[in-house]
C-alpha cells in the first residue's frame, strides 16, 4: 500500500533524470539491501513537524521571524558524541537568543544536524603523493581516511547514517525539551562570553538583553513557556538513494514527505531545473531550500520556484544566496528583484560561507571572518535597497574550539589554523566566532528593523 501510494505520488520520476554528485557504488546488490531496509525503518521526523517549520519559514518571509540555520559542513559518525552535540546545540541556542533580541522577533532554529553526511565535491578523485583514490563524499558514502578500502563507497553507511541521525535527533529532542534550553540559562552563558575582556565590546548588548529578560520576569512573563525550544533538522538532500528510501506517505494528508529531516536543501551544484534533485524534491512536501551562487539568474530562480512551489505556498521555498562577499552587491539585486516582481513568495537566507572559501598560504582551506561578515552586510544592503526581507542566516559552525576560519576577535592567523583544524571538508566558525557573528548580525538586524519602523512612522 505504502509503496503503491509513493509510486502514485510520483516520487520515482527522478530516476529518469540526470543525478549529479552521486557515488559510484561498486556493489549494487548491497546498495539494494541497504535501501530496502531503509524503506522499512521508522521515519526520523514527522510530517506535522515539517508543516510547523513551513509556517515558521512563512513568517520569516514576511519579516515576522528570522531564521538561524547552522551546523557542521560535514557531520562525522565518530563525532556524534553527547559532548559535541550538546556544544553545537548550545552554540545555536546562544546565537538564537542574541538574534532574537536584535530582531525583536522569534528566531527559527534549524541545525545542519542529524543527517548532514553527504558532500558534493569539485572532483571525483583525490591524489596524494602520486596515489589517486575516490574523493571523500561524506561519511554516508565513504571514509575520509586515504586508503583504497576506506574510500570505496560502502552502502552499509546509508544504514549507519540513519542510526547516527536517529541518536543525534534523540539528543536534540532531549536537550531542547528537557530544561537545557531555558532562556535564562542560555542568557547566562552569553553574559559569560561578553564579560571576557576579549569580547568586552559586546558587553553593552548583553546587558541590554539582560535588562529585557529581567523586564519580562518583572512583568510576569511566562518563563515556563521559554524552557523548551524547537530545533529543526536539515541537510543537503544530495544522496537520492537515501532520501527516496526515507520518504513516507503522511497518514493525515496522504502526501509524500522526505522523513530524513524537516528541511532539505538542493545545493549549488545540483540545482539544474531538469536534474534529478529538483525533480525528486518537487514531489515531497517538506519545506525546501535551494542554494543560489553567483551564476544564478532571476530567470533561474523564478523557474525553480515555479517547479518547486507551483502553488506559491509561503514557507515552502527558501533561497539561500551564497554569492561571495565580492559579488553579493552586484549579483544578488537582480535576482531578488526578479523574484519579487514575479510575485513568487520565498524566504531569503544568506550563506556567507560557501562563496568565500580559499586555500591559505599554509595550505588550509579557510575563510576570513571579516569577509563572511561583509557578505552578510551586503545581503542586508541588497534587501534594504529593494524593500525585500532579509529572512535569515545559514552558517557552517561547530560548538568546539577549532581553528578553521581566520580572524575574529581571537585573531586566528594562518599559522594558528594548524592548532586545531578538524573539518573534513570546509572550515567552520568555532564557538567564539559563532557568538561574535551573532552579535554582529543582531546589530545589523536591529538597525534594519529600526529603519523599517522609521519608514512606517514616516508613512503614518
Ligand atoms: O561544502 C561544500 C562543498 O562540498 C565543498 O566546498 C567542495 O569542496 P571541494 O572543492 O574541496 O571538493
Ligand atoms: C555544499 C554546500 O553548499 P553549496 O551547495 O552552496 O556549495 C553546503 O552547504 O554544504
Which pLDDT score is estimated for 218?
A: 87
pLDDT (average), residues 313-325: 98
Location of C-alpha cell 529581567: 214
Location of C-alpha cell 528541511: 263
pLDDT (average), residues 150-155: 98
pLDDT (average), residues 347-361: 98
Grid cell listed for 447: 538597525
Which pLDDT score is estimated for 380?
A: 98
277 and 19 Cβ atoms separated by less than 8 Å: yes
Probe residue for ligand 2, chosen from 289, 290, 322 as the CB with the greatest number of ligand atoms within 8 Å: 322
401 and 420 Cβ atoms separated by less than 8 Å: yes
Higher per-residue confidence, 211 vs 167: 167
Query: Does the predicted TM-score (pTM) go above 0.80?
Result: yes
Residue 459 scores a pLDDT above 80: no
Which pLDDT score is estimated for 107?
A: 96
386 and 333 Cβ atoms separated by less than 8 Å: yes
Cα–Cα dist 395/73, whole Å: 9
Cα–Cα dist 349/222, whole Å: 31
Angular region, 142: left φ>0, alpha ψ -120 to 50, beta rest: beta
Alpha carbon nearest to ligand 2 atom 2, residue: 267
In percent, how much of the chain has pLDDT > 70?
99
Higher per-residue confidence, 458 vs 417: 417
Choices 3.40.50.12780, 3.30.565.10, 3.20.20.70, 3.40.50.300: CATH for 2-181+228-459: 3.20.20.70
Probe residue for ligand 1, chosen from 21, 121, 128 as the CB with the greatest number of ligand atoms within 8 Å: 121
Residue 74 scores a pLDDT above 70: yes
Ligand 2 pocket, CB under 6 A = 73, 120, 236, 267-269, 291, 322, 351, 354
CA of 119 to the centre of ligand 1 (A): 7
Ligand nearest to the CA of 135: 1
Please give the mean pLDDT across all residues of the chain. Answer: 95
Tell which residue, 77, 221, 48, 213, has the closest CA to residue 145: 77
Categorize the per-residue pLDDT at 89 as very low, low, confident or very high, splitting at 50, 70 and 90.
very high
CA of 176 to the centre of ligand 1 (A): 31
Return the ligand 2 atom nearest residue 74 CA: 10
CA of 137 to the centre of ligand 2 (A): 13
Grid cell listed for 319: 533561497
Cα–Cα dist 182/250, whole Å: 32
Query: How much is the ipTM here?
Result: 0.97
Which pLDDT score is estimated for 426?
A: 96
Which pLDDT score is estimated for 460?
A: 66
pLDDT (average), residues 58-65: 97
- The tens digit of pLDDT for each residue in 116-126 reads 999 999 999 99
Categorize the per-residue pLDDT at 212 as very low, low, confident or very high, splitting at 50, 70 and 90.
confident
Categorize the per-residue pLDDT at 1 as very low, low, confident or very high, splitting at 50, 70 and 90.
low
pLDDT (average), residues 223-250: 94
Instruction: Output the CA–CA distances (angstroms, integers) from residue 21 to 182, 207, 269, 379, in the order listed.
Output: 41, 47, 8, 29
CA of 282 to the centre of ligand 2 (A): 19
CA of 366 to the centre of ligand 2 (A): 15
Residue 58 scores a pLDDT above 90: yes
Cα–Cα dist 455/446, whole Å: 14
Bridge partners of 232? 110
Residues whose CB is less than 8 angstroms from the CB of residue 48 and which lie 6 or more positions away in sequence, other chains included: 252
Cα–Cα dist 68/290, whole Å: 16
304-313 long-range contacts, Cβ below 8 Å, gap at least 24?
Answer: 304/271, 304/273, 304/278, 305/339, 305/342, 305/344, 305/346, 306/344, 307/273, 307/278, 307/282, 308/278, 308/281, 308/282, 309/344, 309/345, 309/346, 312/343, 312/344, 312/345, 313/54, 313/58, 313/345
Q: At what angle do helices 82-103 and 203-218 cross, to 10 degrees?
A: 80
Return the ligand 1 atom nearest residue 119 CA: 4
Higher per-residue confidence, 226 vs 42: 42
pLDDT (average), residues 244-270: 98
CA of 351 to the centre of ligand 2 (A): 9
Bridge partners of 368? 406
Alpha carbon nearest to ligand 1 atom 12, residue: 121
CA of 378 to the centre of ligand 2 (A): 19
49 and 254 Cβ atoms separated by less than 8 Å: no
Ligand 1 pocket, CB under 6 A = 73, 119-122, 425-426
Amino acid at each position: 500500500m505504502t509503496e503503491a501510494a509513493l509510486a502514485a505520488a510520483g516520487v520515482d520520476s527522478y530516476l529518469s533524470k540526470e543525478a549529479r554528485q552521486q557515488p559510484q557504488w561498486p556493489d549494487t546488490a548491497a546498495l539494494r539491501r541497504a535501501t530496502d531496509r531503509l524503506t522499512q525503518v521508522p521515519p526520523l521526523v514527522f510530517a506535522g513537524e515539517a508543516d510547523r517549520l513551513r509556517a515558521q519559514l512563512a513568517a520569516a518571509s514576511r519579516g515576522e521571524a528570522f531564521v538561524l540555520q547552522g551546523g557542521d559542513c560535514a557531520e562525522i559518525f565518530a563525532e556524534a558524541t553527547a559532548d559535541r552535540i550538546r556544544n553545537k546545540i548550545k552554540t545555536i541556542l546562544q546565537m538564537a537568543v542574541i538574534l532574537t533580541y536584535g530582531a525583536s522577533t522569534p528566531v527559527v532554529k534549524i541545525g545542519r544536524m542529524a543527517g548532514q553526511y553527504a558532500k558534493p565535491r569539485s572532483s571525483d578523485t583525490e591524489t596524494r603523493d602520486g596515489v589517486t583514490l575516490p574523493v571523500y563524499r561524506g561519511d554516508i558514502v565513504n571514509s575520509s581516511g586515504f586508503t583504497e578500502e576506506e574510500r570505496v563507497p560502502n552502502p552499509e553507511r546509508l544504514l549507519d547514517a540513519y542510526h547516527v541521525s536517529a541518536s543525534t535527533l534523540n539528543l536534540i529532542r532531549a536537550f531542547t525539551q528537557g530544561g537545557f534550553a531555558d532562556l535564562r540559562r542560555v542568557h547566562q552563558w552569553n553574559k559569560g562570553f561578553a564579560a571576557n575582556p576579549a569580547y568586552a565590546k559586546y558587553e553593552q548588548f548583553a546587558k541590554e538583553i539582560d535588562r529585557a529578560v529581567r523586564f519580562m520576569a518583572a512583568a510576569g512573563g511566562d518563563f515556563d513557556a521559554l524552557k523548551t525550544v524547537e530545533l529543526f533538522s536539515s541537510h543537503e538532500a544530495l544522496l537520492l538513494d537515501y532520501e527516496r528510501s526515507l520518504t513516507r506517505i503522511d497518514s493525515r494528508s496522504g502526501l509524500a514527505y522526505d522523513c530524513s529531516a524537516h528541511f532539505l536543501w538542493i545545493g549549488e551544484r545540483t540545482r539544474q531545473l531538469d536534474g534529478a534533485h529538483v525533480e525528486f524534491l518537487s514531489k515531497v512536501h517538506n519545506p525546501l531550500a535551494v542554494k543560489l551562487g553567483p551564476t544564478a539568474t532571476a530567470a533561474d530562480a523564478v523557474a525553480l520556484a515555479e517547479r518547486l512551489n507551483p502553488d506559491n505556498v509561503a514557507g515552502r521555498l527558501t533561497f539561500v544566496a551564497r554569492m561571495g562577499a565580492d559579488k553579493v552587491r552586484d549579483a544578488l539585486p537582480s535576482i531578488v528583484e526578479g523574484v519579487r516582481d514575479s510575485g513568487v513568495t520565498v524566504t531569503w537566507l544568506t550563506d556567507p560561507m560557501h562563496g568565500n572559501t580559499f586555500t591559505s598560504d599554509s595550505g588550509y582551506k579557510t575563510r576570513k571572518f571579516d569577509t563572511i561578515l561583509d557578505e552578510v552586510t551586503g545581503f542586508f544592503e541588497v534587501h534594504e535597497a529593494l524593500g525585500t526581507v532579509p529572512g535569515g542566516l545559514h552558517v557552517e559552525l561547530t560548538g568546539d574550539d577549532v581553528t578553521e576560519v581566520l580572524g575574529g576577535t581571537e585573531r586566528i592567523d594562518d599559522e594558528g589554523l594548524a592548532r586545531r583544524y578538524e573539518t573534513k571538508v570546509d572550515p567552520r566558525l568555532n564557538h567564539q566566532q559563532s557568538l561574535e557573528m551573532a552579535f554582529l548580525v543582531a546589530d545589523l538586524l536591529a538597525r534594519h528593523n529600526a529603519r523599517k519602523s522609521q519608514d512606517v512612522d514616516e508613512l503614518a
